[in-house]
Amino acid sequence: MPHRVAVLALDGLLPFELGIPHRIFGRSLEPAPGNKGAKLYEVVTCSVRPPGPVRTDSDYAILVEHGPEALATADTVVIPASYELGPVFEEGRLTEELAAALALIRPGTRMVSICTGSYVLAAAGYLDGRPATTHWSSADHFQRLFPQVRVDPDVLFIDDGDVLTSAGVAAGIDLCLHLVRRDHGAAVANEIARRTVVPPHRDGGQAQYIHRPVPEPQFATTTAARAWALGRLDRPIQLRDMARQESMSVRTFTRRFREEVGASPGQWLTQQRVERARHLLETSDLSIDQVARDAGFGTATSLRQHLQAALGVPPTVYRRTFRASADTP
């Protein structure tokens, strides 16, 4: 039985964001040998009203074929950004129509917002006392309107278990791919990303917006150093050796690296090693000690510390979780 995803289309919605869950979840096919494409998710779009047109923020409306009753049978509800929700944005309260629709959602349903769809989750009480994010340009207003929410404006998305929030637009793609990865493992998520022609994974803790000038074309970049480092993650990597790949001093290289990547070389290396470890835990039978060595952490203890800090779980639990997801029919 496919996991049922209901996407709530509200007046003033952004068509691009409405399409994200359909594109990501709608293309999630079980990659088993001989399988002709059994869907892992069933995606429906619904409205707070009976089936009919819903206005977008563009010069056209969309025809929605499901009413609020679709929310009652959903396993996951996704709320994209919409910009005709006066009481929600101005007073932090739901309209009667929206409140009645959300009341149909079963307890335990996974709730997801894209961009300022987080306002709806907050107004409905789903984010009380929880960490959440939203589009960086709305973060201050969001925090003033919902002081009970722990807002983090500097991340792409936040996974708080049964409630997940993302920053603007493209971060919604990252969050949906993250959910596929969480539900079914990296192989499925990576295949969807490949077919959608987007990066397979951007960590949720990555900055959503960094105010910095674009490097001038004549400036040297740090691309070669990053490629060099990625090819030897299993070995010790010194900052001076990375700088040498670009014929720069350590100080200049560090500054350029921050300008281009939004993180220090050390932070970036740790992120890449965590990703290497995740991939190996999900796709191989290597021992934890070997995963630690191949990812460049050296010891199982170091791997455990870094994975716990980045993902909140130790390697054994992470592997067991994703193996269980991949084995679930």
Residues taking part in catalysis: 115
- Report yes or no: 14 and 81 within 8 Å, Cβ to Cβ: yes
Residue-wise DSSP of 64-130? E-B-GGGGGG-SEEEE--BS--HHHHHHS---HHHHHHHTTSPTT-EEEE-GGGHHHHHHTTTTTTS
Residue 51's alpha-carbon distances to 9, 43, 66, 215, in angstroms, are 11, 16, 5, 49
Q: Specify the 3-state DSSP secondary structure of 131.
A: strand
Looking up tokens 């070997």, which residue turns up? Answer: 290
Determine if residue 312 is left, alpha or beta; phi over 0 gives left, psi from -120 to 50 gives alpha, anything else beta.
left
Query: What is residue 2's DSSP assignment?
Result: P
Element (H, E) at 150: strand 150-151
Looking up tokens 């959910």, which residue turns up? Answer: 179
- In single-letter form, the type of residue at position 140 comes to D
Element (H, E) at 140: helix 139-145
CA distance 208 to 192: 22
